[in-house]
Structure 1
Amino acid sequence: MLASLGKEPFDDPDWIFEIKWDGYRAIAELGKELKLYSRNGVSFIKKYIPIVDALQEQQHEMILDGEIVAYNEDHLPDFQTLQHFGEQHNVPLVYHVFDLLYLNGHDIKSLTNIERKELLKEALVESDFIKYCDHVDGKGVDFFKAAKENNLEGMIAKRASAPYSEGHRSGDWLKIKHHNTEEVIIAGFTEPRGSRKKFGALILGRYKNDTLIYAGHTGTGFDEKSLTEVAQKLKPLIRKSSPFDVTPKTNMPATWVQPKLVCNIKYTELTNEHIFRHPVFMGLRIDKSPKEVTVPKNEKAMASKPTKTQNVKTAPKKSKSSKKQNQRKIKDAC
């Protein structure tokens, strides 16, 4: 089940509110054969061994829906930290489970959200690597405020009475963001300048009415490892012509690629033309299909027109005491 874009936090006794995690959505099938995979079918079995081992300890035959999250040094869910999990196995890793689709021979997707969560809470065996994702009832405004104070990604609002609509982007689930993050498709890259190797910037796009439209370009957020990784994945996708119906102008010669790779970005503003300003590369998304990366119907522009580049202030470093406070707040929230 997929969430639509929500406009702003709200209070409603008929809704529940959960943390919007900053990780990989994952389905776990627990039966004769254990499966753990992304929403587009990519297996996580060999990638996240601690979670797989913990799933082996579950006591019921279940299909779980949740999100795999890695925690950074500030004890916050962090997508970039998750990207480097394979290199740093001491990174705290948790599968936050928020839904139950099948239990001991019974398909329960037709039950209400609340009924499924009640069954999930009873059936799930929690551990350091698997956690039940709790929620609050009705009080979305206060919950979103707490999410912002903890510097979390945002929140998910869910209609308490809704069934689980598999593969459907429903208005019964709404994502309400705190951070300006988005998924985009890599449609090409420009030649490098100066000391940069591999490529200069990625050319980004999204689908609108089945047409790929330009969404901006990003040349920041890379280290040597991510530059190399992305370049290697782009090389076999190179094509002669632009994948856009309307080819954007670039400040350096462009190489076009098949629009098959999806990445995460964070950005400062969004223009009326649905172009991201100051996008920063956060990592590749192996869990999403390019066809899922569309311009939401109710997407709201944050800037009326492109303006001159502005300096983006960086957040001050947090003290150790604030890190501990954040850790406690997150634990209380979910």
Structure 2
Amino acid sequence: MPGGGPPVPRTWDELWQPGRLQPMLARRAPAPFSSPAYRYEIKWDGYRCLVFADPGAGRTFLQSRHGYDLTPLFPELAGVHRLLPAAAVLDAEIVALVDGRPSFAALQQRAGGVGRGARIPAAAPIAPALLVLFDLLGLAGAVWLGRPLAERVRGLKDLFPEGAAPGVAVSRGVEGDGAAFFRRVRDQGLEGVVAKRLDSPYLPGWRTAHWQKIKAEREVDAVVGGVVPGGRAAGVGTLLLGLFAPDGALHYVGHVSTGLGGEEARHLLGRLRARPTCPFVTVPARARGQPVVWVEPNLVCEVAYLEWTPQGHLRHPVFRRWRDDKDARACRLPAEARAGAPGA
């Protein structure tokens, strides 16, 4: 079996471990693909959640990926046990919807920005939470981990018919044409797709090729406005990136790690022109209290990212390549990012 992980629970007592059971994880696929052996589902942009629901005890426990109790943060989802005929362990994602679409920023607000340093206006409306179920791990004392995914999904749909309860839904998916499904997901601006083998077991805490995630990343060309030393071989640890507003001001949009060291770092530093002051409209929080080399905003790099945050920053930016063919002044701050940009 590919990959590895902790021992797989074999009995109900081993499975029913609120706060201790680990969810199954996905490897990253290099590109979208199609296969009749896989089921393709939306990669929901929310909090991973294992659900322990027991109608006999009258209790639902919502567990985060790392074992924390999410139930107090989402009390409207604490009644799953009322929908079940017997105790069950489920795998799910908690998402917050804004205009019918998942919003991670709205979810942070619901959770108080726990662990993410979110800065969300206090006056922002509270978004409703939705529990999206996608796997059945055990039911009525029976452990379902060894059953194939196709059977577990059928069992989940039997437990939760469409429209069975507000705030709870079963994740939809397609079989076979994963490439076309990915294009639809990407075009709708969603986070990506998870491909799951129809014959795969559920392996708590394991990351294997049974499940593969394909993120629908976007790309942007951004300007380097500062460098934080670090990384390997005393190289370049972090690039501070910006984009130009229509008035010509350079707004900070995020930072990326390059991993450059040695000759690569020296070559990069040789292309940058140092300056005494910060080129951004405001000094980024990422640069405060650290040694930063401010540079003239002339060098451009291509960055992949998931979405724009309400603060006008790139979410999960990843360095791709240098764009020596791109004029820095052509790197413009898009309208969707201007509302949250400082000084906008």
- In structure 2, the residue corresponding to 1:28 is in which secondary structure? strand
The letter of the residue matching 1:151 is G
**For 1:100 and 1:215, how far apart are their aligned partners in 2?**
42
- 2:107 equivalent to 1:82: yes
Alpha-carbon RMSD across the aligned residues, in angstroms, is 4.2
**For 1:215 and 1:119, how far apart are their aligned partners in 2?**
47
Contact kept, 8 Å, 1:29 with 1:63, in 2: the verdict is yes
Contact kept, 8 Å, 1:9 with 1:144, in 2: the verdict is yes
The letter of the residue matching 1:311 is R
**For 2:102 and 2:188, how far apart are their aligned partners in 1?**
10
- In structure 1, the residue corresponding to 2:189 is in which secondary structure? coil
Aligned to 1:145: 183
TM-score with structure 1 length normalisation?
Answer: 0.59
Query: What do the CA deviations read for 1:52-109 (whole angstroms, capped 9, x no partner)?
Result: 1344433321111011011113x21110111123666752321100011111101111
- 2:62 equivalent to 1:8: no
Query: What do the CA deviations read for 1:18-66 (whole angstroms, capped 9, x no partner)?
Result: 0111111111101234210111011111100111134443332111101
- In structure 1, the residue corresponding to 2:321 is in which secondary structure? coil
Aligned to 2:9: none
Matches within 5 A, 1:51-200: 51-73=77-99, 75-85=100-110, 90-124=126-160, 126-180=164-218
Between the two proteins, the alignment pairs up a number of residues equal to 239
The letter of the residue matching 2:136 is L
**For 2:323 and 2:239, how far apart are their aligned partners in 1?**
13
Pick closer, same or farther for the CA change 1:41–1:282 going to 2, 3 Å.
Answer: farther
C-alpha displacement at 1:122, in angstroms? 0.9
C-alpha displacement at 1:277, in angstroms? 8.5
Pick closer, same or farther for the CA change 1:22–1:84 going to 2, 3 Å.
Answer: same
Aligned to 2:11: none
Contact kept, 8 Å, 1:218 with 1:278, in 2: the verdict is no
Larger radius of gyration: 2
Aligned to 2:7: none
- 2:320 equivalent to 1:302: yes
Pick closer, same or farther for the CA change 1:278–1:26 going to 2, 3 Å.
Answer: closer
C-alpha displacement at 1:144, in angstroms? 1.0
**For 2:93 and 2:179, how far apart are their aligned partners in 1?**
23
The letter of the residue matching 2:63 is Y
In structure 1, list runs of 5 or more residues that go unmatched: 182-200, 221-243, 257-267, 271-275, 284-292, 294-298, 317-334
Aligned to 1:319: none
Any runs of at least 4 consecutive aligned residues in structure 1 with deviations exceeding 2 A, and if so which? 31-34, 53-60, 85-90, 213-220, 248-256, 276-283, 304-310, 312-316
What is the percent sequence identity of the aligned residues? 27
